[in-house]
Structure 1
């Protein structure tokens, strides 16, 4: 599959006349709890040629869309963001982009671009923005867990991310097991999560009929605690990184073209 993904990335470059800056795996495979039938969610950032920017029509409108979407089949989905779109979202402390940057399944990367992006992360990271994002994921998916057991992982992982941010004031690693161990989860809760994890890996989670009493109690307690914590936070103003990101964009544009 990796060879096919790399081939498709090269096709995107040729057909769309762009340069891919980095491409990684997202979703359950990057989070460390994929099963045999999990799909591949490839995400990338790309840079069009200078002429694309030097026109009277604005970016992201009409024929100048700032995303590329390619759905190969039910197993492979490839989506990318144009570089200035990505950098604007990065400036706003976009958690999705932070996750892409931490993916250990890398299909391609421009190491200079990624290194400079990583150096700026501490300046754009906004704990309140990220906490609010993952709180909403946890809350929304927990309401649906009775219909789909696999959603427990979206809930638990989101709450683990929030606990990490509250404790460390930084963006966490994205691997589920790494988060689980770093937060020192113990007792019945850990046992239930490990049982869920094994069922998920074997693609048998929808048939799981365990009670998950400790898991549900943990989720409900953490959702209340997290909501109170976020409400208590004052607005956090990011450092203005516009000039640095402008320079990164311009230098990348010159370098790749």
Structure 2
């Protein structure tokens, strides 16, 4: 099962216009812009929003002012283009805490703007601050929150994938000790790559069948909780949580982040 990465040219052009407008309006420089959310994960619907995310930097003078510069941007444009962005200094501060967002943005398969050197350097830097404990608990928290939306053993298929993906991400981190990929297909394939057991093969096949349903499902369409997959989910929430509880959070130096920030100014 492969995701669909095609973004219509007219939408790409419109997104570029939006980025240019924000650069001019906010007097910023965009360093990296990508798609996030369901389209980047590989299970977006035809009517899904375009979740455009980017990192930006101000002129050097803004950072030495008595007033802190704008550190985030949120704007909804026409054509279902939802834009959200972080100032690079804010992003680096969150990276220090092993926030999941930079790891996911930097691995997006859909790129709208990219300085390849910047992206590669930031990716290598991010590895220093990767905390399995922090990220596993982050993903399990998302899954548990979505599970609370189950009513009478039913949930919308869209919301169920918002349970399934973070559980697979936590499982990936537990089994690989690496940041979880953005793309859903890699999380699914990991099931048999790390443990090619009969059970994991069956879970993978069941997820792929559900994925096919998701692609053709109408918005809000509900499904009965798939017992076999759900058993895997509850099992991994418990096992990944226990694994993460025994890990220690390593504190890294600030200076690599400071040096990288200064190099951008």
Aligned residues: 245
Q: Which runs of 5+ in 1 are unaligned?
A: none
Give the structure 2 partner of residue 237 of structure 1: 250
Give the structure 2 partner of residue 215 of structure 1: 229
Give the drift of 1:231: 2.4
Give the structure 2 partner of residue 101 of structure 1: 106
Give the structure 1 partner of residue 14 of structure 2: 4
Give the structure 2 partner of residue 163 of structure 1: 171
Alignment of 1:63-142 (within 5 A): 64-73=69-78, 75-142=80-147
Whole-Å Cα distance in 2 between the matches of residues 136 and 69 of structure 1?
24
Give the structure 2 partner of residue 200 of structure 1: 214
Whole-Å Cα distance in 1 between the matches of residues 180 and 226 of structure 2?
26
TM-score, normalised via structure 1 length: 0.89
Corresponding residue SS for 1:33: coil
Give the structure 2 partner of residue 248 of structure 1: 260
**Residues 29 and 38 in structure 1, CA contact (< 8 A), matched pair in contact too:** yes
Corresponding residue SS for 1:45: strand
Matched, 1:28 2:28: no
TM-score, normalised via structure 2 length: 0.87
Q: Which runs of 5+ in 2 are unaligned?
A: 1-10, 193-199
Give the drift of 1:147: 4.0
Whole-Å Cα distance in 2 between the matches of residues 71 and 205 of structure 1?
21
**Residues 191 and 204 in structure 2, CA contact (< 8 A), matched pair in contact too:** no
**Residues 36 and 203 in structure 1, CA contact (< 8 A), matched pair in contact too:** no
Corresponding residue SS for 1:81: strand
**Residues 25 and 106 in structure 1, CA contact (< 8 A), matched pair in contact too:** yes
Whole-Å Cα distance in 1 between the matches of residues 30 and 62 of structure 2?
15
**Residues 32 and 176 in structure 1, CA contact (< 8 A), matched pair in contact too:** yes
Corresponding residue SS for 1:150: helix
**Residues 28 and 56 in structure 2, CA contact (< 8 A), matched pair in contact too:** yes
- Greater mean alpha carbon deviation, residues 23-32 or residues 198-207: 198-207
Whole-Å Cα distance in 1 between the matches of residues 57 and 172 of structure 2?
33
CA deviation profile, 1:125-150 (whole Å, cap 9, x unmatched): 01101011001011111121434331
Whole-Å Cα distance in 2 between the matches of residues 72 and 201 of structure 1?
25
RMSD: 1.7
Corresponding residue SS for 1:156: helix
Whole-Å Cα distance in 2 between the matches of residues 252 and 51 of structure 1?
13
Query: Relative to structure 1, is the Cα distance of residues 71 and 206 closer, same or farther in structure 2, using a 3 angstrom cutoff?
Result: closer
Matched, 1:175 2:183: yes
